[in-house]
Amino acid sequence: MALRTPEEFVQSLADLHLQIYLFGEKLDDYVNHPIIRPSINCIAMTYELARQPEFADLMLATSHLTGNKVNRFTHIHQSTDDLAKKVKMQRLLGQKTGSCFQRCVGMDAINALYSVTYETDQAKGTEYHARFKKYVQYLQENDLVADGAMTDPKGDRGLAPHEQPDPDVYLHIVERRDEGIVVRGAKAHQTGACNSHEIIVMPTVAMREGDEDYAVSFSCPANARGVYYIYGRQSCDTRKLEDNDLDVGNARFGGQEALMVFDDVFVPWENVYLCGEVEFSGALVERFAGFHRQSYGGCKVGVGDVLIGAAATAADMNGVAKASHIKDKLIEMTHLNETLFSCGLACSHEGVQMPAGNYQIDMLLANVCKQNVTRFPYEIARLAEDIAGGLMVTMPSAQDLADEKIGPIVEKFFVGQCDTPTIDRMRILRLVENLTLGTAAVGYRTESMHGAGSPQAQRIMIGRQSNINHKKELAKALAGVGKPWDKGKAKVPTAEASHRR
C-alpha cells in the first residue's frame, strides 16, 4: 500500500468504529466531534507533510525490512543520522501544528521493542523478534498509526504489581490459551490513543519475581473486542463546542489523552512480544523512556518556536517591541528553546548501534534532555505571559466582540498599536493563552513535566548513567591519590634554594 493521504487517514479512523466515551456518553461520529477533531488534524499533518517533496528527507525513511520508502514514524532507526532526523522532523511538526501530533509514542515503542525482543530471544530462545519484525513491516506497508501504551494507573505506588488489592490497576495476563493470552487492566494518559489504528502495550515498570503476569508486551488493533476509551478533559476544551474560532486560540490543532481500558482482551501469540520474562521488562521500560525523552528535544522545541513567535507578535501589537527588556526576554526564550534542541540532537549524534542492528540514543543525554524539558518550557511560558500582558487572561469573548452594542466598545478599548485590528490582537493573545494555559498546555507546558516520566524518573536514570566512579578516577589520577609520598620533599624551600631554581 502506498503512503496514505490525510483524507484516507481520517476515513480509516472512522472505519474503526472505536468505543469512545466523552462527558458520560458514547460517541458515534467521533472523527467530526469538535473536541476530538483538532487532535485528528494533528496526526493528519504527519501524512500531509510526508507527501510534500520539500519535507521528504525528514518525513520519510528507507525501511531496512523491505527497502521501500515509509513514513519515518514507522521506521526502525538505522543510524545516528536517522536519530537526528527524527528530532528535526518533530520540531517541524511542532511548528506546523503548535500542539502534540501524537505519533511519537508509537515510533519510540517499536524502536525500544526491536532491540529488547532480539535480546530476549538470544537469552531465552523465544521467537519474539521475528514476530515483531513482521508486525513492524505490517505497520510500514499499511502506513498505520500505532499508540505506544506504557503507563498503568498503578494504584498504591508503594506496592508491587502482584501485591495490589485490585490486580487490574496494572495490566496483566488473566489467562493463557493455546492460541494466545487474555489480558485485563488499563493504560492511562494515552496520547493519541483514540486516533490510532494499532496499540502496542508495554510494561510500565521493571518487574520482579512474582510479577510474571504483568511482564507482558503485545500489539492489538485499536478496535479489538474489549478495548474502549474514556476521553480525557483539557482546560478550556468546551470552547471548541462554541461556534467560533477566536476564543480557542488554535482552532485547527490540539492534543488528546485517554484512559484505555482492556476488558478481557484476547491477543494471539503472533502479536505477543514479552510474556513473563520479568528480567527484560526493565530494559524495555528504560529504552522506551530514553527514546521518548529524546523526542521532547524536538516536539516541544517546535511548539516553543510558535510560542516565541506569538509573544514577539504580541509585543509588536502592544507597541513595546523596541523596549530593551522585551528584546532580552525574547532572547532568553530563544536561548532556552535552542538549548532543548541541542540536547535532542546531542543524544542522537552520540547514539550507538544495538546488537539487533538498530540505533539507540545516548541514554544519559536523553535523560538530561527531558530533565531540561521539565523546566525550560515553564520559563518560556512565563516570559510569554509576561510579554503578552494581562489582557491574555481577562479578554472578553468572541460573542462580546460580535455583539451589536458591546462589540464597538471592545474594539475601542482593546485596540493596540494603531495599525493593528483589535480582532488580530485578540487572536494572537488567545494563541498565547492556548499554548500556556489552555488546551495546548497538555501538549506543551503540563506534558513537559509528566510526559515520558516524571522529573524524578529522569534524575534516577541520570544517576545510573553518570558513571561517578569513572569521574572519581579522573580526579584521583590528576591529584596523585594513592601514589607514594616522599616526606623529605615536603620541606619549605629556602630563599637560596628558590634562587637556584
Cα separation, 464 vs 290, whole angstroms: 13
Cα separation, 165 vs 159, whole angstroms: 9
With 0-12 CB in 10 A as exposed, 13-18 as middle and 19+ as buried, what is 211? Answer: buried
Count of beta carbons in the 10 Å neighbourhood of residue 493: 10
Cα separation, 115 vs 359, whole angstroms: 9
Residue carrying C-alpha cell 485590528: 421
Cα separation, 39 vs 254, whole angstroms: 5
Cα separation, 38 vs 97, whole angstroms: 10
Q: Which three cell numbers stand for residue 280?
A: 527484560
Helices (H), 63-200: 80-97, 104-124, 128-142
Q: Which three cell numbers stand for residue 130?
A: 521475528
Helices (H), 34-76: 37-50, 56-59
- Number of H helices and E strands in the chain, helices first, is 18, 14
Q: What single DSSP character describes residue 322?
A: T
Confirm if 248 and 239 have CB atoms less than 8 A apart: yes
> What is the SS3 string spanning 170-203?
CCEEEEECCCEEEEEEEECCCCCHHHCCEEEECC
Count of beta carbons in the 10 Å neighbourhood of residue 431: 27
Active-site amino acid positions: 100, 104, 191, 257, 292, 296, 299, 447
Q: At what angle do helices 281-318 and 80-97 cross, to 10 degrees?
A: 40
Confirm if 94 and 306 have CB atoms less than 8 A apart: yes
What's the sign of the alpha-carbon dihedral 215, 219, 222, 224? negative
What is the 3-state composition of the chain as percent helix, strand, coil, each rounded to the nearest 5?
Answer: 55, 10, 35
